[in-house]
Amino acid sequence: MSLSKDLLFLIRQFCHEEKLQKTAHMLEQETGFFFDMNYLEELVINGKWDEAETYISGFTAVEDNQYSVKMYFEIRKQKFFEALDKDDVALAVDILLKDLKIFAPSNAELYKEMTLLLTMDDFRNHHSLSSYGDAISARRQIMDEIRLLVEANPHFHRKLESPQIENSRLRRLINQSLNWQHIQCTYPQSEPQIQTLFFDHKCSGEPKGQNPLPSQALSASLTTLSGKSIVCPSESRISVGTHSLGHHTNPVTMEGVKGSGNASQISRSTLLHKMVPQRSIPMQRQPLKFRLPTDFPNTVERCMDMNSSPSSMDFHPAKDSTLLVGNCIGDVEVWDISSEVKLFGNAFMIWNREAISMLLLNDLDKDPHMSVNCVLWSPDGSVFGVAYSKNIVQLYSYHVNANYAEKQLEIDAHVGAVNDLAFSLPYHQLLVITCGDDMSIQVWDTKSGSKHYTFEGHSAPVYSICPHVKEDIHLLLSTSTNGEIKAWLFENMGLRVAYDAPGNSCMRMAYSADGKRLFSCGTNKDGESFMVEWNETEGYITRFYHGLSKPSAGVVQFSTSRNQFLVAGDEHLIKVWDMDNAQVLNVVDADGGLPETPYVCFNKQGSLLATFADENKIKILANDVGCQLLQKSKFKSFDSTGYLSESLQKLGIGPSPTSPGVTVQDKSVPMEAKMKPQVPLELSKALNNQKCSKILQVSFCKSLRLPSEVKTNKICRLAYTNACNGILALAADGIHLLWRWLENEFNFFQATTNHAPQSLQPRKAFLMINDLADNNFESISPCFALSKNDSYLLSASGKMVSLFNTMTFKRMRSCLRSPPAASCMAFYPPDNNIAAIGMDDSTIVIYNLRRNEAINKLNGHSKRITGLAFSTTLKVLVSSGVDTQIIVWDFNTWEKKQSTSLQISNGWSPSKTSETAVQFHQDQKHFLAVHETQLAIYETTSLRRVNQWMIGDFCARISYATLSCDDQLVYVVMRDGIVMILAASDLSPRFELDPSVYLPPTLSSCVHPTVVAAHPQKPNQFALGLTDGGVVVIDPPEPKRTWTSFS
């Protein structure tokens, strides 16, 4: 039965890949093996009620159980309401008599009420329907209820999750079967004709002389024109790509680049004619006469997991073991491949929305997906650029010695995809060159972002660019997706040469290391690939390199090494040529597991070769020199300070010694990582003696108090929405306040002090209010967590935990009745249906909100939990409590990994309101710990304290603190009402804001802040929650001024 179910999933996947969605959903309905919640939501949102019922009927009938009854009732009730809303009384009566009457026996009063609605001019006049809005909003609300009913209904158990299946798995299995059948043939042909799947394949005919085995056929295909045998890979293989489900003579097609796509993407013909990337089947290897030179990197030394599919990479020009990687979800990362440590990582984000075109912003709001098309280092490695699939190029400055990067420049460079970028140094000025789908080439200053040149003349999207210097003349080669090649001069912006690529292929160009030889490699729309050498002066081809397959599943990528080797990724292999020989020198399989056209890249010395592999991996191949380089780098006495993010490195401050009380249960932490240098005494004194610049005048900051008609008391918790357009507050009396900024001529859905937001507070009956504890009102710890999409709010104020819908302000459910009471909470990043909830009794409950059940309980603290934070990079949960203990948990197994305790000064004793909060740094490897006596930054894997700031005897205790979105500043609220701004790099106080700066004189003496929140995208904006229930937003006095500019 298990294999039968697996086969159903494979057939369903096949149907979706062939755009047979209706067939796939009919299969789901008729077999009942999988329930597609997304499909049901699509039907409900579009008001296709009959189709929705038909789909559900394949899994449960109306009378099966209470969940099924409620599900069908909600659908038919909404259909009834929409008929009334359209004044279609006849349809409403028909629904009432045919669809809803079945529910009358169990609830006669409700059925009567619905009948009375037929007599009303507007059914919203009914007291229970006064809040009914438009149909779409109602459908979304109904869908939320149906989702919960489906998840609770036993008829749907184990039918809501689809297994992870690699793409085109059914095709792969069939192709493997065909290859196995072919291997069993008595006289296997080199080009078998497979006409049908209805019978087993069998090659016909008698052998002519000695018919080669499949493995010999592969060797034969690589034979040189001179008749010499060519060395086969370390394990000879037969490619299963030739035995596809489609007829082998069907050509492949390459579509033109779409507006937001990647120009390197190849679209194959649909249905049974498209080729599927295949793994290779090992065969008996044949004797080899020639082997690769010993200086070619052909030994796999590293296999790094990238988590997401990589799309581009480039080695640092000076640090041979540093690799820059971009991926398909818009992340850019810098890796040290010797230690397999990620030095830097940043997800895509618009840095300055004001400088971006409204067209792009609207496009991103509709479809936020962004992938990296190209990453590249500048010639000296001090800058790297990232080209994205929509309009944007971002430049980072990279500090080699400190191993951190910081944002330098963002350019709205093209309309559509930016397909390639390059750097050039004419007149000793570093320029970045970009090309894109808008058929243009742009040249920009890397410092100011000013545009120097624009080259136009291509008749198709520009696919690649290759700058070059010849006899002090700076020129630029460019290629387009239709095979045009053009050469340009910077001096006069003139088009110097124009010619066609072989086969009109979409290609890239590259020079040899000495800059004397020009090569290109690419693939045309028929799937035919070409790699050639050019006479760049005359524009003709001097050598064709043989051995690339036809057809190819994508644009074949290539790389050059020193002045000797060319490599290209093709047929799940790395094919190698000597630059002076047109025939394949050898092939490398990199221990298998390569995609059909793997991306390949050499380091500058040619000692390392990186290639993309299956399952989101990058393999590093090395020669003897490369192996020594990796081992030498690996055993250097590294510590994590070498990899601190920018805000922790700028002043070059080392961390403090290991905190006492650290216990490490994870044996993988190296011993050398626990040893850290002391901070020099002179530097420590200098930091402690830094003075604060106290801001006393209102003119020095810009503030806005948010309007509210709801009267409440002290704000205990405060947060910006993840969309950056709203603020959510929780008061001590359990009332939630929500504001959102709307789009206008001065603002694009962003929190701002320029104009007031809209207060989204409905009537008193619909306020989001937590249940309050019966006693000890002052000792409770109100808390909340907001989901990623801002639609759901998890909150508690000393009693039950409530789940609210922030769109409708309705409480969806309650759970975890006190005691013990919930004291802090955080959504689990991989699945927002799961939350970690810290309790008053020192435990942490891992709770499934969908199933309404606890799935784990973590024990380790001795007092109330007050802080929780997840790191998706390290896959850990960090918790903190009143006991000043910090614990790191593995969030896959929920096992305790290690713990430490804050260093608290003698004489301190916790009060009822004492808390220790934790917040992760942007690099997800360091976190800020906030205690009423101190701030501290810790490195997560070893729990070493990197920096610390103690309040001392001269200062009030800390009430709350948070990092700015760029991790440059820490905003701190003190219990005497002072707001302090600290530099995150060394935790040194820089500025103070007295309440008189942002509050009117009538309030500044009696009202003070209790909590602070930082804007998710504006590093210099923060919001304060006040003791009188108010919220104020604060900005520097001038739009382009920062807090640090006051110094």
Other CB atoms closer than 10 Å to residue 108's CB: what's the count? Answer: 10
Tokens of 914: 């004492």
Q: Could you read off the pLDDT of 234-291 as tens digits, one per residue?
A: 333 333 333 333 333 333 333 333 333 333 333 322 222 333 333 333 333 333 335 7
Which run of H or of E encompasses 588?
strand 584-588
Q: Could you read off the pLDDT of 776-805 as tens digits, one per residue?
A: 555 678 999 998 888 889 999 988 999 998
Q: What's the mean pLDDT in 702-706?
A: 89
Other CB atoms closer than 10 Å to residue 840's CB: what's the count? Answer: 22
Q: Which residues are within 8 A (CB) of 636 and not within 5 positions of it... i.e. 6 or more apart?
A: none
- What is the predicted pLDDT for the residue at 494? 64
Q: Chain centroid to CA 417: how far?
A: 19
How far is it, in rounded angstroms, from Cα 17 to Cα 309?
19
Tokens of 337: 């491949």
Contact criterion met (CB below 8 Å) for 1005 and 976 = no
How far is it, in rounded angstroms, from Cα 709 to Cα 760?
10
Q: For residue 951, name the pLDDT band (cuts at 50, 70, 90).
A: confident
- What is the predicted pLDDT for the residue at 832? 82
- What is the predicted pLDDT for the residue at 283? 37
Q: Could you read off the pLDDT of 864-904 as tens digits, one per residue?
A: 999 999 998 899 999 999 989 999 999 889 999 999 998 87
- What is the predicted pLDDT for the residue at 367? 83
* Lowest-confidence region among 7-21, 544-558, 989-1003: 989-1003
Q: Which residues are within 8 A (CB) of 457 and not within 5 positions of it... i.e. 6 or more apart?
A: 486, 495, 498
- What is the predicted pLDDT for the residue at 400? 75
Query: How many residues are listed for the chain in this entry?
Result: 1047
- Say which DSSP state 772 is in: B
* Lowest-confidence region among 174-183, 431-440, 801-810: 174-183
How far is it, in rounded angstroms, from Cα 729 to Cα 121?
40
Across 687-800, the runs of DSSP E, i.e. the strands, are 693-695, 702-705, 715-720, 726-731, 736-740, 758-759, 783-786, 792-796
Average per-residue pLDDT for the chain: 80
- What is the predicted pLDDT for the residue at 907? 59
pLDDT of residue 9 exceeding 80, the answer is: yes
- 160-191 exposure pattern, b = at least 16 Cβ within 10 A, e = fewer: eeeeeeeebbbbbebbeebbebbeeeeebbee
Query: Which residue bears the tokens 């000692």?
Result: 607
Contact criterion met (CB below 8 Å) for 417 and 463 = no
Tokens of 812: 């969806």
- What is the predicted pLDDT for the residue at 224? 31
Query: Which residue bears the tokens 């901070």?
Result: 679
989, 903, 884, 892: which is closest to 944 by C-alpha?
903
- What is the predicted pLDDT for the residue at 231? 34
Please classify residue 140 by burial: count the beta carbons closer than 10 Å to its beta carbon, then call 0-12 exposed, 13-18 middle and 19+ buried. middle
> Hey, which residues does 814 pair with through a beta bridge?
802
- What is the predicted pLDDT for the residue at 232? 34
111 versus 962: the higher-pLDDT residue is: 962
Give DSSP secondary structure letters for 80-101. HHHHHHTT-HHHHHHHHHHTSG
Which run of H or of E encompasses 677?
none
Contact criterion met (CB below 8 Å) for 360 and 386 = no
Give DSSP secondary structure letters for 547-572. ---SS-SSPPPEEEETTTEEEEEETT
Q: For residue 838, name the pLDDT band (cuts at 50, 70, 90).
A: very high
For the chain, first and last CA: distance in Å? 72
How far is it, in rounded angstroms, from Cα 585 to Cα 542?
19
802, 821, 799: which is closest to 810 by C-alpha?
802
How far is it, in rounded angstroms, from Cα 1019 to Cα 882?
30
Q: What's the mean pLDDT in 294-300?
A: 89
Q: Could you read off the pLDDT of 974-997 as tens digits, one per residue?
A: 887 888 888 888 888 888 888 878
Q: Residue 166 to residues 170, 573, 738, 968: CA-CA distances in angstroms?
A: 9, 20, 43, 42
- What is the predicted pLDDT for the residue at 480? 94
Strand arrangement, sheet containing 958-963: 693-695, 988-993, 979-983, 969-974, 958-963
How far is it, in rounded angstroms, from Cα 582 to Cα 599?
21
- The count of C-alpha atoms lying within 13 angstroms of the C-alpha of 183, restricted to the half-sphere facing its C-beta, is 15
Radius of gyration (Cα) for the chain, nearest Å? 32
82 versus 275: the higher-pLDDT residue is: 82
Question: Dmax of the chain from CA atoms?
Answer: 105
How far is it, in rounded angstroms, from Cα 336 to Cα 897?
25
945, 783, 810, 953: which is closest to 868 by C-alpha?
783
Other CB atoms closer than 10 Å to residue 950's CB: what's the count? Answer: 16
* Lowest-confidence region among 44-48, 201-205, 378-382, 1032-1036: 201-205
pLDDT of residue 293 exceeding 90, the answer is: no
Q: What's the mean pLDDT in 655-678?
A: 35
Q: What's the mean pLDDT in 17-36?
A: 91
Please classify residue 999 by burial: count the beta carbons closer than 10 Å to its beta carbon, then call 0-12 exposed, 13-18 middle and 19+ buried. buried
Written in H, E and C, the secondary structure of 784-834 is EEECCCCCEEEEEEECCEEEEECCCCEEEEEECCCCCCEEEEEECCCCCCE
Q: What's the mean pLDDT in 592-606?
A: 92
- What is the predicted pLDDT for the residue at 248? 33
Q: For residue 213, name the pLDDT band (cuts at 50, 70, 90).
A: very low
- What is the predicted pLDDT for the residue at 633? 60
Q: For residue 223, name the pLDDT band (cuts at 50, 70, 90).
A: very low
* Lowest-confidence region among 229-238, 432-441, 565-574: 229-238
Tokens of 655: 């961390």
Q: What's the mean pLDDT in 708-724?
A: 89
* Lowest-confidence region among 185-189, 248-252, 499-503, 944-948: 248-252
Instruction: State the CATH architecture for 505-636.
Output: 7 Propeller (2.130)
Contact criterion met (CB below 8 Å) for 567 and 561 = yes
Q: Chain centroid to CA 540: how far?
A: 44
* Lowest-confidence region among 514-518, 554-558, 667-671: 667-671
Contact criterion met (CB below 8 Å) for 628 and 636 = no
273, 274, 254: which is closest to 264 by C-alpha?
254
Domain ranges for the chain, please list them: 35-156, 505-636, 690-772+955-1047
Q: What's the mean pLDDT in 323-335?
A: 92
Contact criterion met (CB below 8 Å) for 443 and 430 = no
